[in-house]
Every structure is written in structure tokens, then in C-alpha cells.
Amino acid sequence: MEEYPVVADVETAAYNKNEKEIIVRRKIAVSFFTDFKEEAAVIRERDPAIKSDWEVLLYPSFHAIRAYRRAHKLYLKGHYFWARWISQRAARKTGIEIHPGAQIGKGLFIDHGHGVVIGETAIIGDNVTLYQGVTLGGTGKETGKRHPTLGDNVMVSVGAKVLGSFTVGENSKIGAGSVVLSEVPPNSTVVGVPGRVVKQDNVRIPREDLDQVHLPDPVKDDLDRLERENEQLRNIIVQLAQHEY
């Protein structure tokens, strides 16, 4: 007669275990579909190549960011090895390396993504767009906060490098191949090596504006100015020569 309560306890424990497993699986499924819907909305907004929401599953950005979210939770709890293990697996699969210590807001889109590197102390605001080959890195000489902070709605174009602990202001654009080594004010465009800031009269640049080609070229502007000044000096010399004769 004494065995029945023991059997009942075992059955109750097994039932509770199954209930917990079901709850965990439901949470994972809800998390996946929530991420799926959010990422689909982000990609549809910024990538004209997508034809259906299901294509989101084929984007490296989707998988890299989901892996980062898991790794970041472990990192915050002090499980550094497992956090890095997840991030390195994701890097091998997607070509996108995001350190689990980085702080990333909502709506990040990494287009194509191969070769993107985001450092440990990098901070990324909401609705930021990164293209392939972008590095958010350090200079190798700093400790503590050594990676850049990107404000909301920043766009960093193909192959650009943002190196050091400083802020790129919200609504700014970094031109393709630029190397940014210092602070960038909000609503600015940066081009060149090293990067030079070209203010746009503090006019807000909407995140829908993803034009990476038609950016100001300060080097060309300087050359054009020198050419105009040279032409003016030439005309002055010609006029002086005519007066002498």
C-alpha cells in the first residue's frame, strides 16, 4: 500500500517536467516568430531585393543577430566562454562577427554582411544599417571603452572602418571605403581616408536614404576650388601683361 504514493510522486514529477519542456519550447517558438516578423519588416524597408518574408531565413543578418541576442544574455550573466562559443559559431556560418559584449539596439540590418566585425565595447543605436566589410573596431591602444558608438539611423557603407572610442551622431552616413577615426556630429556625411565630415546643414537624413554613391567628395571639391583659383590667377597675369604692352 505504501508504494502507491511513491508512484504518484514519480508520475507528478514527470508530468511537471514535461510541462516545463512544453513551456520552454513555446517561448522559443514565440521568440523565433517575433524575431522573424521584426526582421522581415526591417529588410523589406531597406532591401529592394527581398520578394517574400520567407527569404528572411536566407539572410545571414537574421541568423547572426539571433545568435548575438542569445550570446549577449550569457555574456551579461558572466558565462563568457559559452557566449563566445555561440558568437564564433555564428561567425563561421554567416561571416558576421559580433562580440557578445556589444550593445545593439532594435532594427539593425546587416546587408550581405560578409566580413562585418563588431567589437566588444561597440554600442549601436536603433535602425542602424551596416554593409559588407564594415569594421567597428578599436585602435589597439585603448582599454575599457575602445570601440565606437553609433547613434540611431546611422548608415555605414561597404568596406568602411570606424576605429576608436567616439560617437557617430544620429542620422549620419559613412561613405564606402572611408576610415573614420574621430567624432562625427549628427546629420553628417563622412567620406575619405582618413574620413572627413561634410555637414549637410543639420538636415535630418532619413534611414530610408541608403544612397551609398552620391555623397559629397571633399577632395574633389578642394581640387575644383584650386583649379578655379588657378584660372583666376592666370587671367590676372594675362591682364597685367596686356597693360604692360
Answer yes or no: is pLDDT of 118 > 80.
yes
Average pLDDT over residues 23-37: 63
The 10 Å Cβ neighbour count of residue 126 is 16
DSSP state of 187: T
Out of 28-32, 132-136, 201-205, pick the least confident.
Answer: 201-205
132-151 residue pLDDT tens:
999 999 887 777 899 999 99
Cis, peptide link before residue 194, omega less than 30° from 0: yes
d(CA 91, CA 98): 8
Check whether domain 102-239 has CATH 2.160.10.10, yes or no? yes
18 membership: H or E segment, kind and range: helix 3-46
Lowest-pLDDT range of 14-23, 68-77, 96-105, 138-147: 14-23
Least confident of 1-10, 68-77, 152-161: 1-10
- pLDDT range class, residue 1, cuts 50, 70, 90: very low
Domain spans of the chain, in order of start? 102-239
Task: Name the average pLDDT for the chain.
Answer: 81
Helix (H) or strand (E) holding 197: strand 196-199
Q: How far apart are CA 174 and CA 197, in angstroms?
A: 9
> Residue 16: what pLDDT?
61
- Mean pLDDT computed over 36-53: 78
φ/ψ bin of 136: left (φ > 0), alpha (ψ from -120 to 50), beta (otherwise): beta
* Residue 175: partners with Cβ closer than 8 Å, 6 or more residues away: 157, 160, 189, 190, 191, 192, 195, 212, 215
